[in-house]
Amino acid sequence: MASVEQLNNDEQEEKEEESMGVGEIVWQTPANPPQRSDYIFHNGRRHVRPYYFEFIAHVKNRWAGKTIVDLFAEEFKGRPYEYFVDAVKCGRIQVDGEMVPVSYIVKSSQKISHFLHRHEPPVMAWDVKILKEEAEVLTVCKPASVPVHPCGQYRKNTVVGILQAEHGLAPLFPIHRLDRLVSGLLILARNASKADLFRQQIESGLVKKQYLAKVVGVFPEEEQVVDVNINYNAREGKSTAEDTPTKGKAAQTKFTRVCSDGVHSIVLCEPITGRTHQIRVHLQYTGYPIANDALYLTKETSGRSVQKTTADGAAAISACSRARDIQEDCVHARNEKSNEDFRIDPMCTNCPNLAPKGYDREEEGLWLHCVQYSGPGWIYECPYPEWASLK
């Protein structure tokens, strides 16, 4: 029979576990599919209800020899040192599936698990519209701000996650990618063999791509072909056009003006290669950057000078604000909820906010939209966005 002292100790441990948020927590892994109930629509944004998740990493050679706490404090910044101490003590951080002391020295190749309350960044609340559903291919219109597949802090707030949660469509294999801020046609294969066929055609140069962009200024009437290398800087998250042939990677884009109202132009963009931010950088290079592209609009262009850039930028911001107001009005009727709909975790450094720290900004979609992909015997299209009309 347990002693009174032992029972008291057990009760104390249970209270400590409760205070740390352990108790009845159900930990999720990548094997847990997104559910429709995972999403909260609030202030014109699609949020993911925070959930408990196991992040797994294996000790790299350069990590070996460090204490478990120092390893996390040095390699996974963003949380205070005291958090990692508490996380190790209560088992939120484990090594090879076991609790360890804060002084534990990690060894190469060991499995490290970090159990935490995961908050995903919000995205714009537009639906992922299904364009065509075939036996082996699914095409959708991707909303701006939504990543295609899990990456970084996004897992459920992705096109693939939303399609699985709201339409039961899985597995899906994206055969090309669109940057998170870009909207438009996205092609997904419904089996691995079909995905491989598409990728082979893309790699062989048999697939043609078309995008629409809304740019600053009156774009020239004659077709423009930009054949300028692009150099991507991963640390800065942006690309630059390189006039020197030895720098960057070869890139070529064909541009054709669709229409202009004297202030902006709608331009058809046909990338021949597929470099990071290729269309955005090549448009900036010509002197006609995308009108709401905060990353490239504010920098000096290396080609033709553009008049009224400042005024056009202000007009772009104003248009974005109006679009956001309309969007929020439309979404207001969609099950508006607050952070009361999720469990507050006492150890979480993001709670009680719904979004993680650093994602409280008002993010807008880029005026760049994929409208068509075509290959041997097939063609898929997406409707034009509202901003493509200059009337």
Q: Report how far residue 276's alpha carbon sits from residue 162's, in angstroms, rounded to the nearest whole number.
A: 25
- Which amino acid is located at 220 in the chain? P
Sign of CA dihedral 83, 84, 89, 94: positive
Burial of 64 (0-12, 13-18, 19+ CB in 10 A): middle
Q: Which residues contact 188 (CB under 8 A, 6 or more apart)?
A: 137, 138, 139, 140, 160, 163, 172, 173, 174, 175
Among 127, 179, 261, 341, the one annotated catalytic? 179
Rg (CA), the chain: 25
Q: Report how far residue 84's alpha carbon sits from residue 380's, in angstroms, rounded to the nearest whole number.
A: 49
Quick check: is 70 catalytic? no
Q: Which residues contact 132 (CB under 8 A, 6 or more apart)?
A: 138, 139, 380
The 3-state DSSP class for residue 98 equals: strand
Q: What is the dihedral of CA 226, 246, 238, 382, to 10 degrees?
A: 40
Residue 139: phi, psi to the nearest 5? -120, 140
Q: Report how far residue 58's alpha carbon sits from residue 80's, in angstroms, rounded to the nearest whole number.
A: 22
Q: Give the CA distances from residue 329 to residues 42, 324, 334, 341, 362, in Å, rounded to whole numbers and listed in that order.
A: 11, 9, 10, 21, 16
By annotation, the residues acting in catalysis are: 179
